Amino acid sequence: MDERRMIRISKYLARHLRHDPQRIGLTLDEHGWVPVDVLLRAAADHGFAITAAELWQVVESNDKRRYAIEDGRIRASQGHSVPVDLDLPVLEPPEVLYHGTVGRFLAAIKEEGLRPMSRHHVHLSPDRETATRVGARRGVAVVLVVAAGAMHAEGHEFRRSANGVWLAAHVPPGYLRFP
């Protein structure tokens, strides 16, 4: 399968496993899972046929391991806008995490801290490189340093998605270091 087809399938999965399952008549369970065969049938019925082999390949080789398959079911590992409970345990974060953003959001972030916006959580990266890549989706990346250890010590909960993204409900501005 060529790269463009992989990306198309990955984007199709993101749309229907994170944001708009109803569009192709899917219902995710409370934890975000849907049976693989149901997904493949729904996609085919809505004009986007994917083979089981292609699906496996996208899930296995996805650069960010965005999707997980377990017991014949598939879900997005993070990034939902529809309400799902990923049922992730609360974990102690590393002392420092990173958030990649762009200059035009900085004034609001200084004021309100990091908010989840259209997602369920604020997404934090374990290293600067990853955060730079996240920020660069929107322009020239600006990387903020998050005092995750201090937040944790003061009672803020952290979780980590299956693909290594750290998740928090909110990061108040006092825990952020701006460049």
Are 144 and 108 in contact by the 8 Å Cβ rule? The answer is no
Alpha carbon distance 3, 61 (integer Å): 11
Which tokens is 67 given? 């999707």
Residues in 51-110 that interact with ligand HQG by CB under 6 A: 64, 66, 79, 101, 105, 108-109
- Counting contacts by CB under 6 A, is residue 143 touching ligand HQG? no
Q: Listing from the earlier edge strand, what are the strands of the sheet with 159-160?
A: 122-124, 166-168, 159-160
For tokens 């003061």, the residue is: 154
Other C-beta atoms closer than 10 Å to the C-beta of 46 total 14
CB of 18 to ligand HQG, least distance (A): 8
CB of 45 to ligand HQG, least distance (A): 26
CB of 176 to ligand HQG, least distance (A): 10
Segment interacting with ligand HQG (CB under 6 A) among 25-33, 36-44, 88-96, 111-119: 111-119
State residue 96 phi and psi, 5-degree precision.
-130, 135
Which lies closer to ligand HQG via its Cβ, residue 32 or residue 79? 79
- Counting contacts by CB under 6 A, is residue 118 touching ligand HQG? yes
Residues that bind ligand HQG (CB under 6 A): 64, 66, 79, 101, 105, 108-109, 112, 114-115, 117-119, 123, 134, 138, 165
